Amino acid sequence: MRYFSAFTGIGGFDLATPSDWECVGHSEINKYANMVLKYRFPKVRNYGDIEKIKWEEIPDFDVLFGGTPCQDLSIAGNRAGLHGSRSRLFFEFIRALKEKKPKHFVWENVKGALSSNAGWDFARVLLEFSEAGYSVWWQVLNATDFGIPQHRERVFVLGTLGNEPPSKVFFEQKSNTTHNGIHQITKSQPQSRMIYGIDGIAPTLTQKTGGGHVPKISLVHNGVQWSRVYSTQGIAPTLHRHTGGWQVTKIAVPVLTPNRAIKKQNGRRFKNDGEPSFTITAHDTQGVYDGKYIRSLTPIECERLMGLPDNWTKYGINDNNEIVEISDTQRYNLIGNAVVPVIVKNIIEILEKQ
């Protein structure tokens, strides 16, 4: 089988394909994703911007893969819908189907695609696939149901050229599944990436707004929260005399949003042992609490939580054909935008039977 990977990212779809499948091309424009692709798939041509591709010049292929940009469909985005500046690229995916007519396609997007524009955007998606000549099956799939210790729901659409009804394919939704893998993923990682310890040590003090699982520092004195952070031992650099006596030493207390294990905040909470992680995002700032420390997830842990090979995003090849290391910031971005390969692998197994 031959395939083309549109909106390739770091090659999540490629990792899912059988070893005897041939990739005839990638389409990706992100600078750092392209560096990783060049390093991992040196023999595959990257055609770049999908809007500029002349499909008549692309070798024929049997399967088209693609996870079109989702920012305008995500509940975390501005919900601009299919005609938003990024999600409109969905219609380039349709153009590829109409011009190349591959036997199958697999399309992936965020669960928010179902509710965008009160559901009319997804209805348009299905209509466009139908008018391109495909019968389709779709389902929201959660990574936890495929052995991945991450709660990550994505909608997948599998299309087959022709008017024959697609096979009735439904993946079982597993409930009450225990995932011990999260512990295996984090236990071997260095503690040097600690953000906050219970002793107030804070190598990196960052605070972001907008909620989410962002480790934050609070200063607590007699139940009053202060806005300043002092030294790693919790000692104020200078003790000034104020009306009413000396200013007492304040201790930096680590808290994670929500700041107590028994508290919920905007539906977010501390995870219990054996539960999958929260969804990895492009700007992920989740922490891991081992009973003593709260620290950030490392890039390699995020890769493991996606089912990617260790250090898959660590290296790339730049424009000078030099092998370089990708920064952690960019690695988090690339990983958070990736597709979970094992889900695609299961879909391909079904596709090959049709």
Active site residues: 70
Residue in 33, 35, 41 with CA at minimum distance from that of residue 15: 41
Provide the phi-psi class of 243: left if phi over 0, else alpha when psi is between -120 and 50, else beta. beta
Segment holding 30, helix H or strand E: none
Distance from C-alpha of 216 to C-alpha of 299, rounded to nearest angstrom = 20
Strands 22-27 and 2-6, by their bridges, are parallel
Tell me the DSSP string of 60-119. Answer: P-SEEEE----TTTSTTTT---TTSTTGGGHHHHHHHHHHH--SEEEEEEEGGGGTGGGG
Own/partner contacts of 323-328, CB < 8 Å, gap of 24 or more, are 323/39, 324/35, 326/32, 326/35, 326/36, 328/299
CA-CA-CA-CA torsion sign (296, 70, 94, 168)? positive
